[in-house]
Structure 1
């Protein structure tokens, strides 16, 4: 499972870089979304994939019995998802306002416009 996830993360990083190098500001945002999702998947995969082993300890035991999933990477990824959503929302509002002012989606046209 890990090699498949590694290939998926690599493809997502490559697609994100490709999209971020385009001139359209909408494609830049799509690239940022892909980049944040690829980073989350990379962190999740690097932490180790454990199927069917919730991080629960029975009441009568002093420690985990058998293999358990590590809850820390999951909590960190959840936090990263919330932060990425906030950054994405801010970027979309900023891009919408820039488009209303400049009337262009191309980054080169935005740069050359005197306002």
Structure 2
């Protein structure tokens, strides 16, 4: 049982072309990329199913003696997975077509533009600038603990008089 090399290579080519198109800014190209990737995955399922066989339609009397493989019936599980993938691809296609249509109505193009906030954050990250951030003090590791009540309590183990610690000092509320 050797897989069909032509189908395996074709599945890889379809998936690779689909990924390339999916990375495009055009929603139409992205849709075609999703469709190519879906067809590549479906073809990979069929390659993984093994050799062709008889249709997997049998009655109860033949079920115990039927073999799955080259001399028997074909495996029905990959066929069911491909059928499910086709339905999911149809739903994704409808959704992306709706997005592309809405983008065309708003901007007369289906190209996705850069978000202004994402561009600003990218420029700040490239310059390592923290001016737009809430975190301003990079020198103090406890910069958020400004008030006395926010500060961490002293560690009883590192106290100078660690020989005089009694259990009541560690647990003042008696939560034990």
More helix by share: 1
- Distance in 2 separating the partners of 1:82 and 1:59: 29
Equivalent position of 1:69 in the other structure? 74
**1:59–1:13: structure 2 CA closer, same or farther, 3 Å change rule?**
closer
Q: Report the count of equivalent residues.
A: 110
Q: What pairs with 1:42-61 in structure 2 (closer than 5 Å)?
A: 42-51=44-53, 53-57=54-58, 60-61=61-62
| CA contact 1:19–1:31 (8 Å) conserved in 2 | yes
Q: Which has the higher contact order (CA 8 A, sep 6+)?
A: 1
* Alignment-derived partner of residue 111 in structure 2: 106
C-alpha deviations, 1:34-70, integer Å up to 9, x for none?
011111111121121314x112336653321642101
Correspondence for 1:79: 84
In the superposition, the TM-score normalised over structure 1's length comes to 0.82
Q: Could you tell me which runs of 5 or more consecutive residues in structure 2 were left unpaired when the two chains were aligned.
A: 117-176
Q: Which has the larger radius of gyration?
A: 2
Gaps of at least 5 residues in structure 1 are: none
Deviation at 1:98, TM superposition (A): 1.6
Superposed CA RMSD: 2.1
